[in-house]
Every structure is written in structure tokens, then in C-alpha cells.
């Protein structure tokens, strides 16, 4: 069996759950199977937004972020359900428990997908046999479908898992990149979003082959260092290992300040707290991370120091959100005595682009309402340049001023703790 594994390379699986939220609801209530189902915010209201939907619903054209009224128009028989995040978290934990039976090198990248390095798992069978066993075990034990990509690196495994859904298994070898991947539109490549695709298209790069053969100097000028990374991916090159420790890094960005005088004026202390929240937001913006917990530090005039933190429902990075959470913590824990030092910390950081949000009824629709504004801003930036409109946080000065600041940063990927 070892002969079916590369002597010097890796064998990596990308396991991607199919229509996860909807599938979990069907597993919980088998009477829903085979029916068009959507999980949505405010299902009682026509203005609610579709969070995810079953493949039966997708056949009618129902899509994520679509208003419920529009989805119902396309599919009058559509069943709408409110989200049950505890169910999804439990199902996700069950899925990752199964993956750990086949390898200790398991890296979650979201609540419903992860990478598994099975290079040293040859005693369990061939790569294809292991993928088939994983898929069957998840289906039998959890009643959930998944698709699996098998490849020599993470990028190709991710591309492979997207090729057959639901319940597909795809092997993608590096020698097949030119025939299988190169003809595809560049927007279908993992790591290339719509905006990046538009930029590439504007330079005559329309297919993955075009990207693979693109001029490196032009790519770097257009997309920075990410352009060079994307070219490597387009050529099937990806040296990133599967890192199980990536899910266990819990660090933070924080700012604290010693007050000029011991102060017990609530209004003035809240102004200091607001200033600290702004500085934390600025630094998180630069590092392109979001916080899934917020903490405050209070040091009294007698040097007694307390630190309190709160796990958040959703990742945040905006000053207003950080201030509101830290304000609540401060008011709840401040005893009214004079304060010598205040601190605000954003912790359990996640990469902004990969942050998985718990789509509750309120936050999901709030974000969806912002889409038209964000789209308009993107159009202005594309036409007149990135600098034409930027948020106050993006334009903030680089220095933190006179405050004492301490920070540590890393990318937490423990998405299971989001819920």
C-alpha cells in the first residue's frame, strides 16, 4: 500500500461538507430530506435573507444572500427555517472527530471544511480508499454528505473538492493542472474573488492558464505579493503544510494607557475607553484581523488590577463594536473607585478574509443591507483608484501616540469556538 503514496511528496485531503446548515437540519429532521429547504434570518418576514439552502432549492435558482420574497417567488414550495447554531457546532465537532481517526494532521479552516494530511496513513489503505471511508463514515454516523479532494498540496485538494458536489471524490494530480485547471475562468480559482478577477481581466488575464503564464512584474504591480502567490497556485505549486496547531493560537491586539491623574469620573473614563478602542481597531485593520473576544483591564489607584473578557457571538473589528463591548465590560466590573490605568484588548484573532461569522438573524441581515453601499464604494475605487474613498480607520496615523501599548498577533483558526 505504501507504493501508492509519493516517496517525497504529500497526500492531502480537503473535506468540504455539502450545504452544511441545510444538511444538518435534514439530518435532525429526516422528513425534510429531498425537499427545497433554506436556512434564513427572520423567516417570518419577507425582508429576511437566505443564509444557505439545499441542493433541491438551488435547482430553482435560490441562492445565499437572496431575499426570502425573491426565493419564494422562484420556489413557492421552499421551506424556510431559522438557524440552530448549536446543532451546526455539534455536527462540525463530530466531523472533525472522524477526520482525526485517520490522521493527527487535521487543520480546520471553517466550521464545515478542513484539510487532512494522510501521507503517513498508508497502513489504512490507499488515498482513494481512505477518502471513501471518510465520506461513508460521515454519512453513516452523522447523516451528512461531503465532498473530498485528493491532491499533493492544499490548493489542488481544495480545487478538487469543488469539482463534484454533493458526495463527490476527486483526485487531482499536479501533472493534470494544465488540462484540468488551466481552461477554467480565473474567477473559479480558489483565492481569486470577483474583485481580483476583475483586476486580472482588465490586464487580459481571463483563464487560469493566463494567470499561470502572466508576467510576474505586472502581477506584483497589480496585486502585490499576492499576485505572485496566485501565479504559483495556478501552476499547481503550494508548499503550505497542514498545520493542526493553527487552530490553537490565541493571541491579541491591545492598547492600555496610564491616566495623568487617578480618575473616578465615569464620562471621562468612557472617553479614554473609546480612544483605546479606536487604536485597537486601527491596528487590527492594518493586520487584517478580527477579534472573537474583547477584554478590558482596570487598575485602581491602590494598584489592584482586574482583567475581564467576553467571548463574542461574531468576529468584530470596527471601533464602534469594540468600544460598545469594552464599555459593557467596564461598567459591569468597575467598582466606582479611582482608576489609574485602562486597557482594551481584541483577542482570539482570525484573518479577516477567512472569518466565519455566526449568521444570526440580526447580524446577517444588517450585513446584507450594507452590500449595495459596499458595491457602490468598490465601483468608485475601481474607476478612480483605491485612495478615492477610505474609512477613517484605514487613514488613521500609524503611530499610537503617547499611550503604552502591548500587542501580540496571530491567526486563530478555531472556528468551532465561534458559536
C-alpha grid cell, residue 310? 467576553
Residue of 56, 107, 113, 325 marked catalytic = 113
φ, ψ for residue 131 (rounded to 5)? Answer: -60, -40
Please answer whether residues 35 and 52 qualify as being in contact, where contact means their C-beta atoms are separated by less than 8 angstroms.
Answer: no
User: Is 113 in the active site?
Assistant: yes
Q: What is the DSSP letter of 33?
A: T
Could you give the CA distance from residue 114 to residue 124 in angstroms, rounded to a whole number? 20
C-alpha grid cell, residue 17? 461538507
Q: How many angstroms separate the Cα of 253 from the Cα of each of 146, 327, 342, 346, 349?
A: 36, 17, 15, 5, 8
Please answer whether residues 394 and 285 qualify as being in contact, where contact means their C-beta atoms are separated by less than 8 angstroms.
Answer: yes
User: Could you tell me where the beta strands, DSSP code E, fall in 156-269?
Assistant: 169-171, 252-263
> Is 16 annotated to bind ligand?
yes
**Of 316, 189, 206, 326, the residue nearest 256 (C-alpha):** 326
Please answer whether residues 409 and 287 qualify as being in contact, where contact means their C-beta atoms are separated by less than 8 angstroms.
Answer: yes
C-alpha grid cell, residue 340? 489609574
> Is 162 annotated to bind ligand?
no
Compute the radius of gyration of the chain from its Cα atoms. Answer: 24
Give me the active site residues, please.
113
Binding residues for Mg(2+): 16, 112
Amino acid at each position: 500500500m505504501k507504493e501508492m503514496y509519493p516517496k517525497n511528496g504529500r497526500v492531502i485531503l480537503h473535506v468540504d461538507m455539502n450545504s452544511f446548515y441545510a444538511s444538518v437540519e435534514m439530518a435532525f429532521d429526516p422528513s425534510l430530506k429531498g425537499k427545497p429547504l433554506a436556512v434564513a434570518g427572520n423567516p417570518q418576514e419577507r425582508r429576511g435573507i437566505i443564509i444557505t439552502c439545499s441542493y433541491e432549492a438551488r435547482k430553482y435558482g435560490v441562492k445565499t444572500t437572496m431575499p426570502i420574497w425573491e426565493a419564494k417567488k422562484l420556489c413557492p414550495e421552499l421551506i424556510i427555517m431559522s438557524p440552530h447554531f448549536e446543532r451546526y457546532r455539534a455536527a462540525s465537532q463530530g466531523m472533525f472527530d472522524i477526520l482525526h481517526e485517520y490522521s493527527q494532521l487535521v487543520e480546520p479552516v471553517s466550521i464545515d471544511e478542513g484539510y487532512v494530511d494522510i501521507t503517513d496513513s498508508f497502513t489504512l489503505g490507499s488515498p482513494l480508499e481512505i477518502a471513501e471511508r471518510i465520506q461513508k463514515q460521515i454519512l453513516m454516523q452523522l447523516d451528512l454528505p461531503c465532498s473530498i479532494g485528493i491532491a499533493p498540496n492544499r490548493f489542488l485538494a481544495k480545487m478538487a473538492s469543488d469539482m463534484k458536489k454533493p458526495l463527490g471524490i476527486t483526485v487531482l494530480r499536479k501533472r493534470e493542472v494544465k488540462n484540468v485547471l488551466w481552461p477554467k475562468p480565473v474567477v473559479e480559482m480558489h483565492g481569486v474573488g470577483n474583485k481580483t478577477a476583475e483586476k486580472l481581466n482588465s490586464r487580459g488575464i481571463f483563464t487560469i492558464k493566463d494567470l499561470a503564464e502572466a508576467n510576474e512584474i505586472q502581477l506584483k504591480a497589480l496585486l502585490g505579493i499576492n499576485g505572485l502567490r496566485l501565479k504559483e497556485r495556478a501552476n499547481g505549486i503550494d508548499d503550505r503544510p497542514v498545520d493542526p496547531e493553527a487552530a490553537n493560537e490565541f493571541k491579541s491586539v491591545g492598547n492600555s494607557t496610564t491616566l495623568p491623574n487617578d480618575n473616578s469620573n465615569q464620562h471621562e473614563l468612557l472617553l479614554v475607553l473609546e480612544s483605546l478602542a479606536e487604536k485597537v481597531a486601527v491596528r487590527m485593520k492594518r493586520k487584517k484581523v478580527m477579534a472573537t473576544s474583547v477584554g478590558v483591564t482596570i487598575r485602581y489607584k491602590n494598584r489592584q488590577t482586574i482583567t475581564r473578557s467576553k467571548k463574542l457571538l461574531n468576529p468584530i473589528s470596527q471601533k464602534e463594536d469594540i468600544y460598545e463591548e469594552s464599555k459593557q465590560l467596564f461598567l459591569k466590573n468597575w467598582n466606582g473607585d479611582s482608576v489609574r490605568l485602562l486597557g482594551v484588548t481584541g483577542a482570539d484573532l482570525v484573518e479577516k478574509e477567512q472569518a466565519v461569522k455566526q449568521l444570526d438573524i440580526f447580524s446577517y441581515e444588517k450585513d446584507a443591507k450594507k452590500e449595495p453601499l459596499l458595491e457602490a464604494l468598490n465601483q468608485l475605487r475601481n474607476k478612480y483608484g483605491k485612495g478615492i474613498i477610505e474609512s477613517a480607520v484605514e487613514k488613521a496615523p500609524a503611530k499610537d501616540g503617547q499611550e503604552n501599548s502591548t500587542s501580540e498577533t496571530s491567526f486563530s483558526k478555531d472556528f468551532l469556538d465561534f458559536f
